[in-house]
Amino acid sequence: MKVEVRHRPSFATIFAELGPGDSITAESDAMASMDSDVEMTTGFNGGFLLGLLLKFFGGESLFVNTFRTLKEKAQLVLTQGTPGDIQEVDLEGQTLLLQPGAFIAATSGIKIGVGWAGFASFIGREGLFRLKVSGTGKVWFGAYGGIFERDIDREYVVDTGHLVAYEPTISLKMALAGGIFSSFFSGEGLVSRVQGQGRIYLQSRSMDGLAAWTNGHI
């Protein structure tokens, strides 16, 4: 299988070249186009019960589509609903936690589940749960804006809505951005204090920021 992410970072799109034995599982609305030789099957996201958990707690679709082909070469194009970048990550037995709605697609060796995010994430309006991907294979997830990664070994401050994905060795703690006056009048409010050792993935824009800007200009 040959996969390339094009049109980065504003309108990133996944171009996959499938061959016999290759398969990609994607969110139910991720397919933009495909060759007629590509076969698509639809099923519950991890089974009926897990699919319900992923829909209501992981921010994902109840159904996913799996794409295969018997031809030597067939193209599949996948994308996301918001403008922004797409990150490809190779997992070799590791686990990654994704914010709700970030998952786009994965190869057949990846398992999808739900991970506990903690009450700190809930207070930050990012939900009690995270989508958990693990196993061996490739994962693609998207963001609003550009994606950049950072390896941390000490506390790091991230504004709410900008954390896209992180390794399970990372923990989150919600706190005020500064003092009481600064937190309420600087426009920052609550922030995530990211703790532990591991890698985090951040997005350069946030949907909350877009909503606030839109409301202020209507």
CB distance 126 to 162 below 8 Å: no
The count of other CB atoms within 10 Å of the CB of residue 22 is 18
- Cα atoms in the Cβ-side hemisphere of radius 13 Å centred on 136: 2
Q: Global pTM?
A: 0.82
The count of other CB atoms within 10 Å of the CB of residue 211 is 11
Q: Is residue 70 helix, strand or coil?
A: coil
Burial of 181 (0-12, 13-18, 19+ CB in 10 A): exposed
Write out the chain's pLDDT in tens, 218 residues. 999 999 999 999 999 999 998 999 999 889 999 999 999 999 866 555 555 565 555 555 667 899 999 898 999 999 998 899 999 999 999 999 998 889 999 999 999 887 766 555 545 555 566 788 999 999 999 999 999 999 999 999 998 789 999 999 998 887 765 555 444 544 556 788 899 999 999 999 877 766 665 776 67
CB distance 52 to 61 below 8 Å: no
Burial of 124 (0-12, 13-18, 19+ CB in 10 A): buried
> CB neighbours of 207 closer than 8 A, spacing ≥ 6?
82, 144, 161
Cis peptide preceding 83, ω within 30 of 0: no
Burial 59-95 (b: 16+ CB within 10 A, else e): bbbeebbebbbeeeebebebbbeeebbbbebebeeee
- Which phi and psi (to 5°) does residue 158 adopt? -130, 130
Q: How far apart are CA 32 and CA 14, in angstroms?
A: 9
Domains of the chain, each with CATH number or no CATH: 2-216 (3.60.160.10)
